[in-house]
Structure 1
């Protein structure tokens, strides 16, 4: 079982940055939990203050792997931006609001329980129509009506996790899928055409595809979703943009690229301006099983806070930055690969001392990283995806996994005898090549 830190305040070094910068990690609640007797009853009491009931709407893009094979990162980001703008405009028209930061192709909205299910489905059908007409990228949308815990701008809890899982894994581009709880809220004799999806169940229950139904008329929709994407404070132009994960300056360039599709010269210029060769360290910590979902949630948050504490204590003062610690994941960005590997190995050791086991991936290449309008950091690029695949999809618990580029950098340093840079534990000989096939593509990485 993973270690849970002792009661009382968290280690001071882990909380030098403002709390709202720790995206996805409600540190205030972690402190309350650690100061309590940590019983199931106390977990329910603490979380009940943050309980909300309504619809969780989650979208997932389709076909990005194929697009990324022929387009650069910025071109892909421009393509996935437009569906997010459309979805946000339509969902707001039905009484919804954005949840979290919409990084990469991720989007989530919350609609209060008072919203009629028929209104929401009509708005989403309108969104899919508009996306189909104006976007190259299609999205799948999953909807669940349930109870969640709203913490630091995100939705937590067993139902929140289940809703995200079925939306990301069991929807296709252009599809709207809803759970039984949503269907039960539709009036008798409703005008929507539904079809049961096979092979989905569990906590969210049966899932149905929305094949057809009335659309929600949204006056000036085209102008609305086009305008609300522009950066600026909410309300500054009469519209509220979705929570973009980029700086205002970069987002303006992204919209320019979206307005000039196929402009290779512009894409190349913006890539040279915004992308940098960096090394990404991504860790997925072990789960924290418990007797009740509430205790499991709070114990997991406490472990994530401990992971953040350890990571910040080991992070070099220069050439590195913590991007985020959210849920079981931590992401760090380094200027150079060798310090990144040294950090990854030290992080594994530091967590092991607290009986926390993690799978770590380290990958290098061009990335887009910077501060978001909310004050935190976010990142995008192939190294993030590769580090995630090595750590989350293919990795072995307790091991560090290096991409070929990172391993080559270690070999080069070892060849010139740069042991001081490598550190005592960064022994190249300790990493062995692993070849795996993922989605029909063979990849090689090094595990140690």
Structure 2
């Protein structure tokens, strides 16, 4: 008998399934008339106005193929330290957990936009001496701060600007930021970019404005245990050894399955968040069905780990089937190898080459509704696999395997 396909309902949701989305907010919305007035009333307490700086590292995929995992974690952490140092000295607040290679900070409206840009120019000057470089985007507007993250069109815009339109060492600013800058203090060049909600400008130079650094309590919101972060921060790259006892305890050999879910555009943010919560309930249910470890998921992205290739392949097919049945389109990337899994206060964080490879396969290759299994998964699966071979270069890394 075929297994029942899951059709999620809001009544089935639990807070851990909803993830970072506050469940009362979703339930209040679902039980209302779901009109614009109710939507705005429910979201009003979550609105924050000010400047957001988002950053994205350059060349991480290539670096991951050349360095050990510990070296990569150390090198990627270094520019985050600098961004947090200058950002917090300018009254910025870190947003979310700075996993992978990106950062985000919010500066209240009372902080002059010019001070924020000047601070980031100083930060980029210091980062220039580091191995890992970053691109930054700066935008002013109204954002929704929900569950520790930023939501809405303005948040999507600044994140896309950092990821897709800023190069290493570059700072791009939006039209909203440009309008608030003193005319003679900044030299800007308009970028040839079309299709965005606002024009973008590259900051070429500023009049010297030395940022006064303050002693800040705490560190950037790192995706590690406290002990591992202290170990990483206190060690030089040349000193990092795999033989370290802490590393051995965290190191696992796992098959990583990364699921990317495409959600239809919604006119109202709460409709989109509801769709995300329901998608996450599917990820939760299917991973429990297969006994697969759900490292983290939010309805748009899920990372799962297993010790067995066959189990992972079966899970990948099943979750694709169930998501498709429920009207979602997903892409799945799979890779196998060494990862570090960090037990956190809430859930887990993960780092390692297989996560990066699986992410590239699910998010960057361009196949919607398909499963891409890296050669690390397909070489010795102990089960016959049918699929078409692929071999392509993504971000300087050669990927090959089977399209299932």
Is the TM-score greater than 0.5? yes
Could you tell me which residue of structure 2 aligns to residue 207 of structure 1?
201
- Selected match of 2:270 from 295, 298, 322: 298
Instruction: Using the TM superposition, give the Cα deviation of residue 283 of structure 1 relative to its aligned residue in structure 2, in angstroms.
Output: 1.1
Q: How do 1:101-250 and structure 2 match up within 5 A?
A: 101-133=97-129, 135-187=130-182, 189-199=183-193, 202-219=196-213, 224=215, 239-250=217-228
Q: Given the two structures, how large is their TM-score scaled by the length of structure 2?
A: 0.90
76 and 242 in structure 1: CA distance in 2 versus 1, 3 angstrom threshold? same
1:49 alignment partner, SS class: helix
Q: How do 1:257-272 and structure 2 match up within 5 A?
A: 257=235, 260-263=236-239, 266-269=241-244, 271-272=247-248
Aligned partners of 1:300 and 1:327 also within 8 Å: no
Separation of aligned partners in 1, 2:57 and 2:342: 23
2:73 alignment partner, SS class: helix
Separation of aligned partners in 1, 2:25 and 2:243: 45
Q: How do 1:419-430 and structure 2 match up within 5 A?
A: 428-430=384-386
Instruction: Using the TM superposition, give the Cα deviation of residue 440 of structure 1 relative to its aligned residue in structure 2, in angstroms.
Output: 5.3
Unaligned residue ranges in structure 2 (runs of 5+)? 1-6
Could you tell me which residue of structure 2 aligns to residue 277 of structure 1?
253
Can you list the C-alpha shifts for 1:241-288, whole angstroms capped at 9, x where unaligned?
11111111211221233xx23236x25546544321111111111222
261 and 355 in structure 1: CA distance in 2 versus 1, 3 angstrom threshold? closer
Separation of aligned partners in 1, 2:299 and 2:321: 20
Instruction: Using the TM superposition, give the Cα deviation of residue 343 of structure 1 relative to its aligned residue in structure 2, in angstroms.
Output: 1.6
429 and 120 in structure 1: CA distance in 2 versus 1, 3 angstrom threshold? closer
Could you tell me which residue of structure 2 aligns to residue 390 of structure 1?
361
Separation of aligned partners in 2, 1:173 and 1:250: 28
Separation of aligned partners in 2, 1:320 and 1:246: 22
Can you list the C-alpha shifts for 1:335-386, whole angstroms capped at 9, x where unaligned?
32222222222212222232222111222111111223x4232111111121
2:11 alignment partner, SS class: coil
319 and 347 in structure 1: CA distance in 2 versus 1, 3 angstrom threshold? closer
2:326 alignment partner, SS class: coil
Aligned partners of 1:51 and 1:150 also within 8 Å: yes
Could you tell me which residue of structure 2 aligns to residue 10 of structure 1?
11
Aligned partners of 1:395 and 1:401 also within 8 Å: no
40 and 6 in structure 1: CA distance in 2 versus 1, 3 angstrom threshold? farther
309 and 184 in structure 1: CA distance in 2 versus 1, 3 angstrom threshold? same
